[in-house]
Structure 1
Amino acid sequence: MSFAFTSRRLTTLALATAALGLASAAQADNKNLPVASDGTMPSLVVTSTVPGGAFAGHNKRGVALDAEAEFPASRLTAAEQAVFAATFKPKMAPYASAAEALDPESVINSDRRFRVYPQESGYPYRAVGLLTFNQGSGSFSCTAWLISNNTVATAGHCVHSGGSTGVWSTNVVFYPARNGGLSPYGSCTATRLHSVTGWTSSANPEYDYGAARLNCTVGNTTGWLGRAWTTASQVGVPIGIFGYPGDKLSGTQWGGAGAVAVSEARKTRYPIDTAGGQSGAPVVQADGTGPGTCQGDCGIAIHAYAASGGNNSGTRITQAVNNNLQTWINQP
């Protein structure tokens, strides 16, 4: 069994070593080859194998919560919030296979989700936010979560519509800790989007993940989540999922808790209720639970798809996925 954890504290590695590390992961799975919306080539890096804690962020006394955001904190009126809700529809994965059902997320039986007030609840909830964007002529919403002070992870279909004829998202805006019409930490636009060829060329649900580089460093205030990968089975690992479902009041964060039910090479499956709009939400492993030595709040998968065999699912954070996320964080 192998295990690695990535957090704010990274080991500095030589570029040659980094290139070899990412190349070996890519050779094992060439559909994880990274692509970017602006055509740039990422600098090759590998992630730290030194365990560390996720960064809890800081709220310095006397400093505005939105001090490091691109746009200031705001509160929409009821009328403005109604327009916002009518404009941005939950993004559904357009290439969901028959095995994944036709709907990318679902409430499995009775709805067991609970509302989260991310600013009041603090970290890690405030590191999760609402993501809005355009694809073609449509306006959509997803969920995204900070993995550094200026980078968010999300589902691949939230940054690219999928497949060789697909398009990159435009007008991407991230609202950390959004709560209805309130954006307490302000908002930030995306300057570069990332995914992998397995999604942008093949629309393969096993590679449905991506990231967005933000035009701000709001994560210094909100904090960001760590990431953990392991080759061991994840079955039984306690997890939580936090995101922005489209079947609830627009812009409100909801959570669900349970345990991993099925562990696959590239998918993690769980009987936790979700709905459209939660695509991109973090599947969070609690501190000290499950295989390995997760320290802090660790994302182990990126939620994306509906119930198959009674379980919703996410793209599992493997070593290759983890390396790509770190490469995208480090790219200037």
Structure 2
Amino acid sequence: MEVRTMRARRSARWVAVALLSAAGAVQAQADVQRTVSSDGSVLAAPSALSADTGASFAGALREGAAPDAKAEFPAFTLSGAALADFRSRYQPKLPPYGRAGGDRAQPEAVVGPDRRFRLYPRESGFPYRAIGFLTFTQGGFEFSCTAFLISKDTVATAGHCVHEGAGGSWSRDVKFYPAFNNGLAPFGSCGARRLYAVAKWTEEGREDFDYGAIKLNCSIGETTGWFGYYATADSQTGLAVLVVGYPGDKPKGTMWGGAGNILSTEQRKMHYGIDTAGGQSGAPVIEADRGASKANCFGTCVVAIHAYADFGPTNSGTRINQSVAANLTAWKNAP
């Protein structure tokens, strides 16, 4: 009798595990968000990624062509007067605020003493040259953000850099300058063929869905290389990361970085005490190189896309969870 009871309990336990696994799979599939694009093109719904092991995508270092051979426009160096004009035109893009109920994130911020360091992307090489200065127009005004390559012709960035959010309009006159530095564009620039975001951002303006991508009209990543990214269902708290981009409180168009650890993780956000400022929206939150990747993502991998600060003394990014990774993959694989 006792043996029969133990078998029944064991069977019930396996049924419960199976039900939980099935529920998780259904949730993962439902979590893949409806994507939208600036030209109305429709992508097949991406498959949800494995929620148990995570899925990783390796970055690639492709080098050898002339620096600007794959760009739409060739390399250039702005004169002093031209650089001053350039800086006066493009203001750092801040995310929209005033969400219903008053629950909103804050502008990116310097947390205590400024601990950021200057980077020279051309001289520093990969992966810094795969990060770029992003300019665009919204509502008749010119703005700047940060973006980073995830394939030869696709960059990831914050959602509010490609679309105003909550029923607004798509960005226009988009230009990406990889490794831009103080008026020097060693790899030239590329325009945009198509912008991507998710409906939770474009229609509702949800901050936890504030991410997007741009399909470029060039393949500059074949020269600069591009980032990998990964998603896991595990906590990333304590992970050492870098946040690298173009803050608006420094000389505009110069690259700065900050280092620290992930302080807390949520399903859709990561929080860190790394200094940032407006203009760094869309910057990659990069897993610091300490040997083997936590998710076995070979190459240089991104775990979040920087976008906001918080009410407390931290900044935050949109976590590359299963659904975000699935969408990034669908976007970069689109023709």
1:295 aligns with 2:307: no
Tell me which residue corresponds to 1:231.
233
**In 2, distance between residues paired with 1:53 and 1:37?**
27
- Which one of the candidate residues 275, 278, 281 is aligned to 1:273? 275
Aligned residues: 304
User: Is this contact kept in 1: 2:243–2:259, CA < 8 A?
Assistant: yes
Secondary structure at 2:151 match in 1? coil
**In 1, distance between residues paired with 2:103 and 2:166?**
18
Residues 84/261 of structure 1: CA separation in 2 closer, same or farther (3 Å cut): same
Q: How does the TM-score come out when normalised to structure 1?
A: 0.87
Tell me which residue corresponds to 2:172.
170
User: Is this contact kept in 1: 2:35–2:198, CA < 8 A?
Assistant: yes
- Which one of the candidate residues 201, 204, 207 is aligned to 1:202? 204
User: Is this contact kept in 2: 1:259–1:270, CA < 8 A?
Assistant: yes
Tell me which residue corresponds to 1:124.
127
Secondary structure at 1:57 match in 2? coil
**In 2, distance between residues paired with 1:102 and 1:239?**
21
Tell me which residue corresponds to 2:38.
37
Which amino acid in 2 is paired with 1:305?
A: Y
**In 2, distance between residues paired with 1:206 and 1:265?**
9
Secondary structure at 2:41 match in 1? coil
Q: Is 43-52 or 169-178 further displaced after alignment? A: 43-52
1:185 aligns with 2:187: yes
- Give the deviation of 1:51 after TM superposition: 5.4
Which amino acid in 1 is paired with 2:41?
A: T
Residues 199/45 of structure 1: CA separation in 2 closer, same or farther (3 Å cut): closer
- Give the deviation of 1:309 after TM superposition: 1.8
User: Is this contact kept in 2: 1:231–1:318, CA < 8 A?
Assistant: yes
Q: Is 288-297 or 317-326 further displaced after alignment? A: 288-297
Which amino acid in 1 is paired with 2:282?
A: G
Q: How does the TM-score come out when normalised to structure 2?
A: 0.86
**In 2, distance between residues paired with 1:25 and 1:118?**
40
Question: Alpha-carbon deviations, 1:65-88, whole Å to 9, x = none?
Answer: 000000000010111111111100
User: Is this contact kept in 2: 1:95–1:162, CA < 8 A?
Assistant: no
User: Is this contact kept in 1: 2:106–2:308, CA < 8 A?
Assistant: no
- Give the deviation of 1:330 after TM superposition: 1.2
**In 2, distance between residues paired with 1:54 and 1:286?**
14
- Give the deviation of 1:308 after TM superposition: 2.9
- Which one of the candidate residues 143, 148, 152 is aligned to 1:149? 152
- Give the deviation of 1:54 after TM superposition: 1.8
**In 2, distance between residues paired with 1:35 and 1:331?**
13
**In 2, distance between residues paired with 1:300 and 1:96?**
27
Overall identity of the aligned pairs, in %: 53
Q: Is 153-162 or 298-307 further displaced after alignment? A: 298-307
Question: Alpha-carbon deviations, 1:186-227, whole Å to 9, x = none?
Answer: 000011000001100110100000000000000000000000
- Give the deviation of 1:246 after TM superposition: 0.5
User: Is this contact kept in 2: 1:162–1:200, CA < 8 A?
Assistant: yes
Instruction: Please list, as runs of the form range in 1=range in 2, the aligned pairs for 1:235-250 lying within 5 A after superposition.
Output: 235-250=237-252
- Give the deviation of 1:296 after TM superposition: 1.7
CA-atom RMSD in angstroms: 1.9
